[in-house]
Amino acid sequence: MCLFTFTSAYLQSELNQLKSLFSLKLGWGTGSKKEIWLWTAFMTIEPIGSVIGASLAGNVLVYGRRKALYLVICCFLLSYIFSQLMGFWWQMASRVVVGLGIGLNAVTVNRYVEEYVPLVMFGTAMPFNTFMGKFGSFLAIMSAVVLPPAKSDPDVVQESSAWRIICLLVVVWLLVALLGLCCCVKHESPKFHVHKGDLVAAVKAVH
């Protein structure tokens, strides 16, 4: 579960490392009003998507916590695909979709930890989940080391494909999270089954 929080935080922070690249590839004038407006739109559209995703999470969770996490994975992967298409509206679509995934992920992971983790371990699991989120943000910041230096020639920055490495890391984190979900968390939580009135499935989930 913590890997989902880690990936979510990484996605929230990675865009900050690519501002100079967007300025060149999308033809923004440095410091122009157009650039300021576009960058503001880029930075605000993802939180808006997150609010929508979190608002819709309750409707999604009734179908299963695992299904909600699979939907989060789909959102993050779709966002990655959009991010590889260097165009303003593709990037905006990427931010909207990732926002939806981040909002849904925030609600789903906390609910899963609350329902799945034994009470004796809950005091450790929740802080560790928060730590993984901060670590994901930290790694996104550190990923900027693969980019050309800030004072590089504009042609060097524009021709560099190192930014794709930053985006590709998202796929790596998601594959690890998916593997953990498939191998380590194979059932819905017992509380979910009890809420659905399926006591047989709840007993199976415990054992």
175-183 contacts: CB < 8 A, separation 24 or more?
A: 176/3, 177/3, 177/4, 177/6, 177/7, 177/73, 178/73, 180/3, 181/66, 181/69, 181/70
Residue 123 confidence (pLDDT): 75
User: pLDDT band for position 55 (50/70/90)?
Assistant: very high
Most confident region among 32-46, 87-101, 106-120 by mean pLDDT: 87-101
117: pLDDT strictly greater than 70:
yes
Average predicted confidence (pLDDT) for the chain:
76
User: pLDDT band for position 147 (50/70/90)?
Assistant: low
pLDDT digits (tens, 9 = 90+) for 157-178: 666 677 777 777 778 878 888 8
Rounded to two decimals, the pTM is 0.78
134: pLDDT strictly greater than 90:
no
| Higher pLDDT pick, 20 / 62 | 62
